[in-house]
Amino acid sequence: MKRYSVFAIAREALRQHRGWERAWGSPEPANSYDAVIVGAGGHGLATAYYLGKNHGITNVAVLDKGWLGGGNTGRNTTIIRSNYLQDPSAAIYEKARSLYETLSQELNYNIMFSPRGVMMLAQTEHEVRGYLRTERANALQGVETRFISAQEVKRLVPIIRLDGPRYPVLGALWQPRAGTARHDAVAWGYARACASMGMHVIQNCAVTGIEAVGGQVTAVNTTKGTIGCKKLGLVVAGHSGALADMAGFRLPVESVALQALVSEPIKPIMDVVVMANTVHGYMSQSDKGEMVIGGGADHFNNYTQRGSWQHVEETVRALCETFPMLSRLKMLRQWGGIVDMTGDRSPIISKTPLEGCFINCGWGTGGFKAIPGSGWAMAELMARGNSPLAEAFSMYRFREGRFIDESVAAGVAH
Ligand SMILES: Cc1cc2nc3c(=O)[nH]c(=O)nc-3n(C[C@H](O)[C@H](O)[C@H](O)COP(=O)(O)OP(=O)(O)OC[C@H]3O[C@@H](n4cnc5c(N)ncnc54)[C@H](O)[C@@H]3O)c2cc1C
């Protein structure tokens, strides 16, 4: 695969851009692979990438029922942060955040990582106490965060209203090296890197069944035929329950729609990400100038990838209290993604009862930020049988009562 560089742009400019190669091919499935990954979202593609890069396993296929990055990876609001309370969470999210810092250079693909800083507003005394606690935990975990005063919040975000009608801003937990990245580019960058290692990224190939002999996975049935595999990784977010069913086990995961919306583009007004968990909304400004707004998840299980009026009204009304200027903006688009929620709002990276079959899911409303760390850990687990980063996230923790209760740490988990 030819490298993207300033010289490549100059060369192609001189020959009317006729020499660019396809970033990834459209291969037909082979009869079998050493590893098959189901789900070409960020987590599936990153798993394949680190299987090749860290463990030399390149006879790999990544299968997706739709187009790559067409699931939640291409539908999220792109917040990247690692200011979690619990040690296992901070470890994997900080690993991911630090990999994001140099991912563009590593993949030779501009993922537009923007470490513009993320602040989580404290709007009740309870939140102040919670974030002071998280700040201290982060210091021990080696995650750089700081509790900042309301005045400093105002300095960083001049459009904010500190004395909201219901909840005044009392301060914020500030992570200066957190930020955003271009979500599609993360999927595309990993896909291109996988293809350049000789892996097959196969789109429009839905997995419809899983075959096993003597308790060991042997193949997957797909809409493009049966494909043999020695190892199988299930990385399908909101469809994890359905795939687990095919593999013969049950998961403590519920699927619900999570929605987001964007406003019309305006001039730059906010160069950090603000999360207001008490009123339940968060906002950043995209490079195009749109205000990117997200709220909570639906309160009922569903598989819709659509938005609803109720959410627009609920989220925008809440954010208008803290950002009154929002009331004068037109909202342009809204959409939804199917997120996979576990009871303790923490992910699953785990072996399963089916030998050779591994699962990565449960990232719920906040898995975009974890993609590089999650792929790193899942690849290690698949290649070596264990991974220090994944250890606490086994699916058996629900049976054994070892919850990683991040839901107490943040009302919104993005
Ligand atoms: C509106 C919204 C906002 C969000 N905001 C943030 C945020 O700001 N920050 C953050 O960190 N996270 C956020 N998230 C969460 C984040 O998007 C997800 O956790 C993450 O993208 C999950 O990635 P994934 O690769 O696991 O899943 P996906 O990207 O959903 O990929 C799973 C893939 O599996 C495929 N698949 C499913 N079933 C099959 C099958 N039978 N056969 C083959 N393929 C199959 C699907 O087609 C899909 O492409 C948000 C999510 C949503 C919906």
Q: pLDDT for 60-102, tens place per residue?
A: 999 999 999 999 999 999 999 999 999 999 999 999 999 999 9
The answer, yes or no, to whether residue 414 has pLDDT greater than 90, is no
The answer, yes or no, to whether residue 410 has pLDDT greater than 50, is no
Q: Give the ligand 1 atom nearest the CA of 260.
A: 1
Q: Quick one: pLDDT at residue 63?
A: 98
- Range in 20-34, 292-306, 328-342, 344-358 with the lowest mean pLDDT: 292-306
Q: Give the ligand 1 atom nearest the CA of 222.
A: 42
Q: Give the ligand 1 atom nearest the CA of 207.
A: 42
- Ligand 1 atom 44 nearest Cα: 64
Average pLDDT, rounded, for the chain:
94
Q: Quick one: pLDDT at residue 206?
A: 98
- Range in 265-279, 308-322, 367-381 with the lowest mean pLDDT: 308-322
Yes or no: say if 57 and 51 are a contact pair by the CB < 8 Å rule: yes
Which domains does the chain show, CATH number per domain? Answer: 12-82+84-108+183-252+344-408 (3.50.50.60), 118-179+255-342 (3.30.9.10)
Question: What separation in Å is there between the alpha carbon of 73 and the centre of ligand 1?
Answer: 5
The answer, yes or no, to whether residue 384 has pLDDT greater than 70, is yes
Q: Quick one: pLDDT at residue 314?
A: 87
Yes or no: say if 173 and 192 are a contact pair by the CB < 8 Å rule: no
Question: What separation in Å is there between the alpha carbon of 337 and the centre of ligand 1?
Answer: 7
Give me the percent of the chain exceeding a pLDDT of 90. Answer: 89
- Listing DSSP states for 269-324 in one string gives ---SEEEETTTTEEEEE-TTSPEEEEEEE-SS--------HHHHHHHHHHHHHH-G
Yes or no: say if 268 and 279 are a contact pair by the CB < 8 Å rule: no
- Provide residues with CB under 6 Å of ligand 1: 38-44, 63-66, 70-73, 75-79, 206-207, 235-237, 239, 243, 258-260, 294, 337, 339, 363, 365-369, 414
Yes or no: say if 82 and 178 are a contact pair by the CB < 8 Å rule: yes
Whole-angstrom Cα distance, residue 143 to residue 306?
35
Alpha-helical (H) ranges within 248-323 are 309-322
- Angular region, 111: left φ>0, alpha ψ -120 to 50, beta rest: alpha
Q: Quick one: pLDDT at residue 165?
A: 84
Residue with tokens 């009869």: 31
- Ligand 1 atom 37 nearest Cα: 236
- Ligand 1 atom 49 nearest Cα: 71
Q: Quick one: pLDDT at residue 407?
A: 61
Question: What separation in Å is there between the alpha carbon of 414 and the centre of ligand 1?
Answer: 13
- Ligand 1 atom 3 nearest Cα: 76
Mutate to test the pocket of ligand 1, among 76, 111, 114, 359 (most ligand atoms within 8 A of CB): 76
